[in-house]
Amino acid sequence: MNCPYCNNPDTKVIDSRPTEEGHAIRRRRGCDKCNNRFTTYEKVEEAILTVVKSGNRREEFDRNKILRGVVRACEKRPVSMETMEKMVDNIERNIANLMVKEIDSKYIGEQVMEELKKVDEVAYIRFASVYRQFTDVDTFIQEIEKLVGKRRK
């Protein structure tokens, strides 16, 4: 790290500690040449994830968009906000573990349905009906029969 006062490339770290939010490291540095001290912050650079939508449209990944969909599916259901947040955390972690720059929106939708299925089957059916665009009652019945069949096994 170059000294901001004299541009000396040799500076020492005097003190290092996490910031209050815990998302960065605060480093107090000193310059051997001019004896000035200064502070730097070190944080992880997050790569921008692009979601590929139908019709090959692309948009930036938005965690809040997933959370809104989960909240809507869980409306008037006994699912706490904390549980919904954890579901979205799991989805976000699964996507990050793929280590890709682009992700298909269908993959995200399937992840949301998997998380909802674990937590609340009614919320799962609500989300699936919109996501998979159920067109008639028979489609609903088929999806419910799949759930009941898996529960019996």
Q: Where are the domains of the chain?
A: 11-43, 50-134
Mean pLDDT for the chain overall? 90
pLDDT score for 97: 87
Average pLDDT estimate for 72-95: 94
CA gyration radius for the chain? 24
Q: Determine if the pTM surpasses 0.75.
A: no
Residue type, 90: N
Say which residue, 111 or 135, is predicted with more confidence: 111
Q: Looking at residue 153, what is its pLDDT?
A: 65
Give CA–CA dist 109/66, Å, rounded: 9
d(C-alpha 25, C-alpha 134), whole Å:
49
